[in-house]
Structure 1
Amino acid sequence: MTAIVLPEEFWQGVDQFNQQEFYACHDTLEALWIEAVEPQKRFYQGILQIAVGCYHLGNLNWRGAVVLLGEGIGRLSNYQPDYGGIDVTELLSQSVNLLEALQNVGSEQVADFVRQLEAADSNDVVVGGEGVRGFPKLKGVDG
């Protein structure tokens, strides 16, 4: 894709996302999303939905997590491999892996899954047959 320059507030939202401050990330990116036009609007919305899905997961809301992760994944699929300096393919890979693991685990075991996920801190956690490395991270295309 062409070089897209995203505003400083977006990068604040990236930091919040990567620090698992998903509600704060939502607030930051929602302000951008409201004012944005396409194609940025859909990009912001996809990241927002993944962030809110992770927020729901942290609050043991399995259904909310599954629905919003799925919607965010769908919205971001057309932005691969990267957009605005973000490695979208990597974000989608991590998010799909998390969603599949959640679906395998089911709502009954979400509390145990979240405890393991929070303890993972970049180490593989095997839950429901899936290797998950903690919550998704937003990574730049340069690493």
Structure 2
Amino acid sequence: MNKPCAQSAPDLLIKALDELNTSLWFECHETLESLWKSLPKDAPERDLYKGILMIAVGLYHNGRGHRLGALRKLPRAVELLAPFAPACQGVDVSKLLACCGRLLVFFANAAPSAPIPPQLLPDIPLPDPA
């Protein structure tokens, strides 16, 4: 496990995951953006936070009727998150990646106006606080 992944989850990461789990996608984006911008540009965990942020942005786009936005953001989330699997800072990254995969299949095959089935939405266990 790389050094940043061995660290405990910062409070803002826990807050963002809770927002992601409760469909507060815009708020999740804002929380994670604040978190990753507070770090040095070479901090590897920035990509973990940006990957989760991309899931929130994709879901936000979809909720505003922009399915193509979701189809563009979720692959980027997968790309950013994959190096952190299976887990980082107590976050089940493998579960996030699986969620992205299910959402991508749904978005690619469902009618643009079809609501996302609840079982496809993120439900990521919150890590223990730092």
Report the TM-score when normalising by structure 1.
0.79
What pairs up with 1:43-122 in 2 under 5 angstroms? 43-105=48-110, 109-112=111-114, 114=115, 117=116, 120-121=117-118
Separation (CA, whole Å) in 1 of partners of 2:20 and 2:102:
17
Give, in angstroms, the shift of residue 57 of structure 1. Answer: 1.1
Q: Contact 1:26/1:51 (CA < 8 Å) preserved in 2?
A: yes
Q: Contact 2:12/2:31 (CA < 8 Å) preserved in 1?
A: yes
Give, in angstroms, the shift of residue 134 of structure 1. Answer: 2.9
Partner of 2:124: 138
Separation (CA, whole Å) in 2 of partners of 1:88 and 1:15:
15
Separation (CA, whole Å) in 2 of partners of 1:7 and 1:141:
9
Report the TM-score when normalising by structure 2.
0.86
Q: Contact 1:9/1:28 (CA < 8 Å) preserved in 2?
A: yes
Give, in angstroms, the shift of residue 53 of structure 1. Answer: 0.4
SS at match of 1:45: helix
1:23 aligns with 2:26: yes
Aligned length: 123
Q: Contact 2:92/2:124 (CA < 8 Å) preserved in 1?
A: yes
Separation (CA, whole Å) in 2 of partners of 1:23 and 1:45:
14
Amino acid at match of 2:14: W
Give, in angstroms, the shift of residue 6 of structure 1. Answer: 2.4
| Identical-residue share of aligned pairs (%) | 32
Partner of 1:39: 44
CA shift in 2, pair 1:7/1:140, >3 Å:
closer
SS at match of 1:110: coil
Structure 1 unaligned runs (5+)? 122-132
Q: Deviations over 1:26-61 (max 9, x none)?
A: 111100111224211111100001110011111121
